[in-house]
Amino acid sequence: MLNIVKVSSDEQFNEVGAGLVAGLLQSNPRAILGLATGSTPVGVYSQLIELFQKGLISFAQTRSFNLDEYIGLAPDHPESYRRFMNEKLFNHIDIDMRNTHVPDGTAADPEQAALEYTRMLDEAGQIDLQLLGIGHNGHIGFNEPADELQAHTHVVELKKDTRAANARFFNSVDEVPTHAMTMGIGSILKSRQILLMAKGASKADILKRALTGPLTTQCPASLLQTHPNVVILVDQAAGGRLS
């Protein structure tokens, strides 16, 4: 079931997104969170930090699993997703760093590291709330459009347009890694609840296609239509083509 929430300001966007996470933590302090990177969730993370600082929520018993990581970037690289999570959220809350998991982009054997990440996910059990963004080509995590999609964590070659979209975070597109490790579609869809977040008019067409079009591996986000509990959080521009 898809529940679409349209908001009219960044402040509302962040409050709704953080409110969903906070409500979960208040009812289940041991919740498992699936976390995402990129510009869209930054404000949500800031709002969560504020709620923690006010004593309204705690992450002390929480575990987290991030969707993906670039292959070849060290954890302290300015554009690694581990560093992103540390700077935008983890360093400012009471989560135990040992309970935060991000795929290992520097593993000598990335394929083996992907298998290990899948094992950790399976041992942890079901993710209670998975945060997602959506790429302009419909990718979620780094599950790119393809004839077939993988269920579990795996290594993926990034599409040219995905690298181009992420080039704004680097000095040039040539610096954007060519490969990444990502949680698979099967693992994402196993989550109890999913929060898909999108901002801006450039996401309007792909959201319309993903949420109302046919189910197809050429638009990985379309498979969210099969999930029983998805919240779609959008601003007016991104949700412009959604009823």
Side chain identity at residue 43, one-letter code: G
Express each pLDDT in 168-220 by its tens digit.
889 999 999 999 999 999 999 999 999 999 999 999 999 999 999 999 999 99
Let me know if 3 is a catalytic residue. no
If one looks up domain 10-232 in CATH, what number appears?
3.40.50.1360
Query: 103 Cβ partners below 8 Å, 6+ apart?
Result: 66, 68, 69, 113, 114, 117, 153, 181, 182, 183
Give the pLDDT of residue 243: 80
> Of 69, 104, 128, 144, which one is the catalytic site residue?
144
Q: What is the per-residue pLDDT across 13-32, written as a single tens digit (0 to 9) for each?
A: 999 999 999 999 999 999 99
Give residue limits of the domains in the chain.
Answer: 10-232
DSSP label at residue 208:
H
Q: Are residues 129 and 67 in contact, defined by beta-carbon separation less than 8 angstroms?
A: no
Q: Catalytic: 68?
A: yes
Catalytic residue among 77, 137, 161, 179: 137
Strands 179-182 and 68-70: antiparallel
Residues near 130 by Cβ (< 8 Å), separated by ≥ 6? 33, 34, 188, 191, 193, 194, 195
Catalytic residue from among 14, 104, 128, 139: 139
Q: Quote the pLDDT of residue 159.
A: 87
Active-site residue, selected from the candidate residues 14, 66, 68, 235: 68
Report d(CA 36, CA 66) in Å as an integer. Answer: 6
CA-closest candidate to residue 103, choices 139, 67, 151, 73: 67
Q: Distance between CA 13 and CA 4 in Å, rounded? A: 12
pLDDT above 90 (res 234):
yes
**Angle at the Cα of 190 from the Cα atoms of 43 and 90, rounded to 5 degrees:** 30
The percentage of residues in the chain with a pLDDT greater than 70, rounded to a whole number, is 100
Q: What is the pTM of this model?
A: 0.95
Query: DSSP secondary structure string, 50-63?
Result: HHHHTTS---TT-E
